[in-house]
Amino acid sequence: MDKLSHKIVSRRGFRAALLLALFAAPGMMFGQAATRLTVTDRVLRKAVDVEPLGLNGFGDVGGTKHSAGNIIFNSGFEPVTMRNLYRVIDSGQDKGRYWVTLDGPGTSNYLLYATGTYSGAAFRAYRFVDAEGKPLPYEDAAWAQGGKVLDTSKGTRCLPLFRTTVTAKGATRELPGGGWTADGVPDDFAAWTALSKPEQEKIAQGWRVYYEGGELLRMDDVVMVQRTFAWPDPAEFHPRVGKGGVRSNWDVVAGAVRQVPLASDVPIDMNGDHGALELTPEGGVAQVWNKLFGGTGREDSFWYSTLDAGVTHRYEAWVKRDGGSTGKVTLGFGGNGPNALDRGYFGQPIAREFDVTEQWQRVGFEFTAPDVPADGGIEGAVIRYAGDGKLLLDNVKLQPVYEPGDADKPFVVHRKLFDELMSTQPTTGRKGAVRIWAGLSQGTMEALCSWTPDTTVKVSSTINVQNNQATTLPKALTILERTGDAPENRAVPWIMTQITHTEDEYRQLIEYLCAPYDAAQDTPQAKPFAFKRFQQRGHGRPWTSDFREIIIEFGNENWHNRAMDDWIGLGRRNTVNRAGRDFGLWGKYMIEQMQQSPHLDRAVIKFCFGGNYSAGVTADGSVTGYGQEATVAAGGANDYHSHATYIGPRWETGEASQTSIDDAGVQKTLLSYRLDKEEEWARQAKAHQRLRKMGFNVRMSAYEGGPSGFGLRAKSKEEDRAGEYYGKSRAMGVAILDAWLDAWGKGWTYQCYLSFGQGRWWNSHTSFANGFRPSPGFLAQTLINRTMANADLVEVTVSGSPSMEMDLPRSQADLRRNTPPKKRSTQLIRAHAAVGGDQTAVAVVNLDLRSAHEVQLVAPFAATSITRYGLTGDPRDTNLDEEKVKHHEALVDLASLANGTLTLTLEPGDVAIIVFHK
């Protein structure tokens, strides 16, 4: 932390006095007595029950994934996997086969898919049943497809029904395109929208899925489909997207490209996995481009990064000529054009040429990255092939080389991002959890547990082959292993998986994490995933030996039920906040499947069910809320239920963001927790305590949290700008510090800040190009972890606090109806305390923007030294354009203690953490 002198100079005294007159409210007046704080010996939470604050992600900017070590997008050209989940709407038997219709957009997926998209795909089905194994009843629902939905209130199990395949193309003359049918659809989307709703519904009735064998399904059975292939066939998608062909992370400058299966002649040290990129020259040349970098002065510099100037990098690939007699490949940098290599990396040519033979070979070179001009354009990695035959390309790598040997490593931890991650964690003792997003994809478990991710298809206006998240599980775990030297002082991995992963894949994950591998006794055939880890780590010790906990979370925000990509859930499509019990029954079933693995280490592996903001306890003692209902339905098979700790307006619940920047908005930000979210969090705490009384030994956590109110769905530039300002103001840092500490007191364990990343909205930092400056919210988290984590929380009594009455935030619905805002009064001085070892830390916030307040803190003991921590700057300040808000640390003169009481002044919108040392 920055060392500052003890003398605190107010630059805002006159303005504070002026604001006092402008903002006068009941309970506030000149000459008011000081607020008195007393630290009691009443323990609210023991240290063992309170986890340090953690993070989501590893610090990346959107367009350049430095945390992956290798920053190339789609570097391994692994096969494409497509998966989808549906609920059955109707079913029957025809053409010698059973068939179903699907909820939501059906087999056409809003005219993105076509007959044949999933023909031949794997097809599996599940049913929710009661204690006797019988199907559940339905309840009427006018809003739902088919007019009814499954009533899972009496459900006790998720029952797997069968595994089969969708009827393949050509399997029967009656289904020439196979069992995935989306016939009768116009080739043009405008023609579809021009049809009346009854006309559309009549066509959609014929969108069926025919499958082999199995049994007759019923409404609201769950079905999942899955295909894996090397490269999409445009004819299998709707003409409006298929006519554009197939695109990938590698733009084609010359020639033609496609992913192909990897042949068996791969050297062991190539780590080739399953796929390669085939480049076919036209006119003797093929060239591709991978967009990675942007000039630091560009408007989109919040998204793009550059190579780390002055750092050595390795750029390499495995290449092979397929046919022909001669060929040369050039690796270099430049723009998206045929002469890109001549211009090079922001005007500086960096390239090497290599001969290509008919044998796989590793080619590459090392270079020192130069500085980048602010007026640079968009640049990327270039690969050019000149010759005859075809070029096979695999495992392209561009990663930093910090010390000898790094060039040959499959993964190198990015130092700048790692150091920043470490800066926010406690210096001793336990660290928080870091949530790993790589598993939230349609990809396979095998690829998730590999150095190189596989690919998936995103269909919009074109068919796009894209790699899944590049910081795969072995990379993420390697980063987190480095955060300490023992399980008890390392950050905790929080792994997200996907609802559509199979039972076998979940057992593969358990083997990868838990199974030891002894090369003298075990074989790759008997323990393929433990062997994969053995190859990656160089020893047989399982990951569970190196972390105190590893959390597995099934999906992300499943209550969206496919309203958002990859946020899948088990309910009907777009039925937001429904089907918590369905999710719980499915989660219980999948945990039971993992328990079949002989390797499961239940002392380390913990399971998490994600919940949403809703929670409550009914008059009869029932618990409501998505995650809570899932926990009850699962019989407490999970270890955690998780609920976000955000403050500020939330777009997903329709809360209105602020649209102008002024002092009134800053005051709202300071009170955004105490006026608005505190009651909601209290309901979560009450529901959690009820779960515990019901016998469920679960812990409450926050998968995400921190500042909110950003402009993801802003309706104007002003709203977007205001959201960015308030969410990253010092006022928000003060408010979220108070909120996070209060969440600890209310029962939360882990809380993971969204997001440790660069750029706009919820990201914690400006981009590398814009200085990599931390937001005040990120700095507040660091203050908490460095002064109050790993200690018992104790009660602090607060007497004589000033108060303020303000309007409560209005929802979008309130604004549309012009509903007057409700008012609420709240105390402005808040305090929290943590006792551990030889120190007591007391955090105090002044949530009043209009004036400073005097606080009298009764010292908890006769201290040998006292340190005051805080944040520099004004509550109106941000770090968006320059670093105004930083950590502040100063020794307090012991002579300032009078009769065991420390008197301090909190400036408007200020925070102080006072640490008393014995």
pLDDT tens digits along 763-795: 999 999 999 999 999 999 999 999 999 999 999
> b/e for 6-42, b at 16 or more Cβ within 10 A?
eebeeebeebbeebbeebebeebeeeeebbbbbbeee
Kind and range of the H or E element at 87?
A: strand 80-94
- Give me 747's structure tokens: 């029962």
Neighbours of 477 (CB within 10 A): 23
pLDDT band at 565 (very low <50, low <70, confident <90, very high): confident
| Residue 17 confidence (pLDDT) above 80 | no
Range list of H helices, 101-141: none
pLDDT digits (tens, 9 = 90+) for 583-623: 999 999 999 999 999 999 999 999 999 999 999 999 999 99
In terms of Cα–Cα distance, which of 667, 668, 705 is closest to 684?
Answer: 705
In sequence order, the β-bridge partners of residue 365 are 315
Question: CA 35 to CA 33: how far, in whole Å?
Answer: 7
pLDDT average, residue stretch 550-568? 95
The 3-class SS string of 334-393 reads: ECCCCCHHHHCECCECCEEEEECCCCCEEEEEEEECCCCCCCCCEEEEEEEEEECCEEEE
Q: What is the average pLDDT value for the chain, to the nearest integer?
A: 94
Question: CA 501 to CA 607: how far, in whole Å?
Answer: 15
DSSP state of 283: T
Pairing of strands 390-401, 312-322: antiparallel
pLDDT average, residue stretch 793-808? 94
Pairing of strands 35-45, 853-858: parallel
The Cα-based distances of 521 to 394, 526, 543 in angstroms read 33, 10, 19
| Residue 8 confidence (pLDDT) above 80 | no
DSSP states along 443-495:
S-HHHHTSSS--EEEEESSSEEEEE--SS-HHHHHHHHHTT-SSGGGSPEEEE
Question: CA 260 to CA 76: how far, in whole Å?
Answer: 11
> b/e for 635-663, b at 16 or more Cβ within 10 A?
ebbbbbbbbbbbbbbbbbeebbbbbebeb
Neighbours of 333 (CB within 10 A): 27
Range list of H helices, 108-176: none
pLDDT band at 822 (very low <50, low <70, confident <90, very high): confident
Q: Identify whether 755 is preceded by a cis peptide bond (ω within 30 of 0).
A: yes
- Give me 44's structure tokens: 């609210």
Kind and range of the H or E element at 82?
A: strand 80-94
Tell me, yes or no, if the pTM score tops 0.85.
Answer: yes
pLDDT at 12: 39
- Give me 561's structure tokens: 């039920």
DSSP state of 33: P
| Contact present, 368 and 309 (Cβ < 8 Å) | no
Angle between helices 730-746 and 776-787 (to 10 degrees): 40
Half-sphere exposure for 899 (CA within 13 Å, toward CB): 1
Q: For the chain, what's the residue count?
A: 918
- Give me 311's structure tokens: 């750092």
DSSP states along 825-890:
EEESEEEEEEEETTEEEEEEEE--SS--EEEEEE-SS--SEEEEEEE-S-TT-BSSSS----EEEE
- Give me 263's structure tokens: 């042949």
Neighbours of 3 (CB within 10 A): 9
Question: CA 646 to CA 761: how far, in whole Å?
Answer: 13
pLDDT at 32: 67
pLDDT digits (tens, 9 = 90+) for 110-150: 999 999 999 999 999 999 999 999 999 999 999 999 999 99
- Give me 86's structure tokens: 């549906």
Say what percent of the chain tops pLDDT 90.
89
Question: CA 496 to CA 610: how far, in whole Å?
Answer: 10
pLDDT digits (tens, 9 = 90+) for 480-495: 999 999 999 999 999 9
Question: CA 744 to CA 641: how far, in whole Å?
Answer: 15
In terms of Cα–Cα distance, which of 405, 411, 257, 386 is closest to 332?
Answer: 386
| Contact present, 877 and 729 (Cβ < 8 Å) | yes
| Residue 902 confidence (pLDDT) above 60 | yes
In sequence order, the β-bridge partners of residue 606 are 551
pLDDT digits (tens, 9 = 90+) for 416-468: 999 999 999 999 999 999 999 999 999 999 999 999 999 999 998 899 999 99
DSSP states along 672-734:
IIIIIIHHHHHHHHHHHHHHHHTT---EEEESSEEE----TT-SSHHHHHHHHHHHTBHHHHH
Apex 332 CA angle, 457 and 385, nearest 5:
70
In terms of Cα–Cα distance, which of 625, 583, 624, 573 is closest to 607?
Answer: 583
> b/e for 751-767, b at 16 or more Cβ within 10 A?
bbbbbbbbbbbbbbbbb
| Residue 30 confidence (pLDDT) above 50 | no
